[in-house]
Amino acid sequence: MTKTDHTADAKLRVGDFVQRAGKSFLVLRCGDVFGDERTIRVTPDDVAEFFATQARNLSSGCRTLAGLIGDWRSISELAQAALDWFKLVNVVGMRRAARRRHLTPRF
């Protein structure tokens, strides 16, 4: 089995804050709500969970993705960037994660 490193491509498509990337994960360097730098690992399951439980929640100004809490705008943008990445490199895995959370993938 061959492992492919997708880091360089992810840096170009997602952003320079990508530290490592594969078909089933993104390791991202982000700032938290306190301005401290954090490293998080985002998976298709994290993205599906975000869209199933938080993407349409208008009652809070904060949202969470893979343990990172922040302003709804920045977290939603990060979740969308991760979704776009997983749709590109692992659409089957992203669809599977979405279906496990009773979402209907439209991609």
Is residue 54 in a domain?
yes
Instruction: Count CB-CB contacts under 10 A for residue 13.
Output: 15
Q: Residue 40: enclosing H or E segment and its boundaries? A: strand 37-42
Q: Is the pLDDT of residue 35 over 90?
A: no
Q: Are the C-beta atoms of 84 and 93 separated by less than 8 Å?
A: no
Please report how many Cα atoms fall inside a 13 Å half-sphere around the Cα of residue 62, on the Cβ side. 8
Least confident of 25-34, 45-54, 78-87: 25-34
Residue 37 structural domain: 7-100
pLDDT tens for each residue of 64-96 = 999 999 889 999 999 999 999 999 999 999 999
> 50 or 58: whose pLDDT is higher?
50
Q: What percent of the chain has pLDDT over 90?
A: 77
In this prediction the pTM is 0.91
Which ranges of the chain would DSSP assign to H, the alpha helix?
A: 7-13, 44-53, 72-89, 91-100
Number of domains in the chain: 1
Residue linked to tokens 């659409």 = 91
Q: Which two tokens stand for residue 86?
A: 């997983």
